[in-house]
Structure 1
């Protein structure tokens, strides 16, 4: 499936305890789901990603992204519905988000702007055990910025699929950004971002602000 075939982009907020705490947020008791428009998608193929430069800080958030290959039915196993995975960035206008959170307004202006969902190359879903054992890493201009493991998720992959499928629907062509570990920070013009699954690089881009 190419990125042009993606239908819905579901994203999970605050799914790693330390990330929730680093932003001063309460740890959720059920999955916090928001969406991005498909216009937010952009490949991570060594290309330049142009981001807004006049609305405050733009933060990086590296995440495991799951591709859904068939329609959800109650009780379906994650291995039977997930058809691939990759790493992606949930880019966030943090100053904008802080303002709209204070007003209780939707997150779309902070999370859904064009280019806010860079995606790496798709690869085979490895199953829950392998998923939780491997480390994923964001390298920012040669320095490690984030490191995480799916084992640290508050809500695991199976729980996310059940929750999204039950409440919103989930089908072939949908993708799920599963949440980011701690270590998020503001991007600077010219930053190079590289996404690694173990020692394999599955995406990179250069930031232009």
Structure 2
């Protein structure tokens, strides 16, 4: 006999997969902080610090279909909403204490994502020594495009990554400039949590983060993956 819930169960958050009818179900969203050197410097830090992580809820995902323009609402409580373009790795095979040399075997595919950030709230939390959840894990804070399976994604670890706002380039770099590679990130993450199929890893953003306002159109790209286009409503 099937179990019944006392309230409506939330729907499974899922992302389309290029070339496949099935979708990728999202379990957890892990994010890597300050993982490009020039971005670390613009945020007031330098050097190759140990990797650190924060999380977003799965229902912060906003799926943007290939060739379409997604929409998110300008969030409450902030006057300084920032864009952070990122390469996202989707985990297909879970594990704990995964060594970097074996990490590629656990990746299902890649997508382009945005880590939207209420920067003023983040700065305030930092000053008070409090968690960043209110700045990073709010509704619609994780727009993402379709996932491309590894076999069709090309050499994403050497791909150009960029973001334009209203046609003007704001962020531009190369994934090869990650301080901690995707494989090293998986090694560190899996030492702290047991990774599971359905997990997403936002791998970090390059320099050039800045504010956006209602009406702005963002176009993010990572070479070989579908572009992510988003309007701030």
User: What is the TM-score of this pair, normalised by structure 2?
Assistant: 0.83
Q: What is the Cα deviation at residue 39 of structure 1?
A: 1.9
> How many angstroms apart in 2 are the aligned matches of 1:34 and 1:160?
13
> How many angstroms apart in 1 are the aligned matches of 2:35 and 2:107?
19
Match of 2:50 in 1: 30
Q: Secondary structure at the match of 2:204?
A: coil
Q: What is the Cα deviation at residue 90 of structure 1?
A: 0.3
> How many angstroms apart in 1 are the aligned matches of 2:30 and 2:186?
10
Match of 1:21 in 2: 41
Unaligned runs of 5+ in 2: 1-12, 16-23
> How many angstroms apart in 1 are the aligned matches of 2:32 and 2:152?
19
For 1:5, which of 25, 28, 34 is the aligned residue? 25
Q: What is the Cα deviation at residue 201 of structure 1?
A: 4.0
Q: Secondary structure at the match of 1:85?
A: strand
Deviations 1:179-206 (A, max 9, x none): 0000000002111111222376422110
Q: What is the Cα deviation at residue 127 of structure 1?
A: 9.5
Bigger-Rg structure (1/2): 2
Q: Is the 2:111–2:225 contact (alpha carbons within 8 Å) kept by the matching residues of 1? A: no
Q: What is the Cα deviation at residue 131 of structure 1?
A: 2.1
Match of 1:123 in 2: 148
Q: How many residues are paired up?
A: 208
Gap change, CA 1:6 and 1:192, over 3 Å in 2: same
Q: Is the 1:192–1:207 contact (alpha carbons within 8 Å) kept by the matching residues of 2? A: yes
Q: Give RMSD over aligned pairs.
A: 2.1
Does 2:212 align with 1:187? yes
Unaligned runs of 5+ in 1: none
Match of 1:150 in 2: 175
For 1:98, which of 107, 111, 123 is the aligned residue? 123
Q: Is the 2:104–2:183 contact (alpha carbons within 8 Å) kept by the matching residues of 1? A: no
> How many angstroms apart in 2 are the aligned matches of 1:125 and 1:141?
31
> How many angstroms apart in 2 are the aligned matches of 1:103 and 1:82?
37
Report runs of 4+ in structure 1 exceeding 4 Å deviation: 126-129
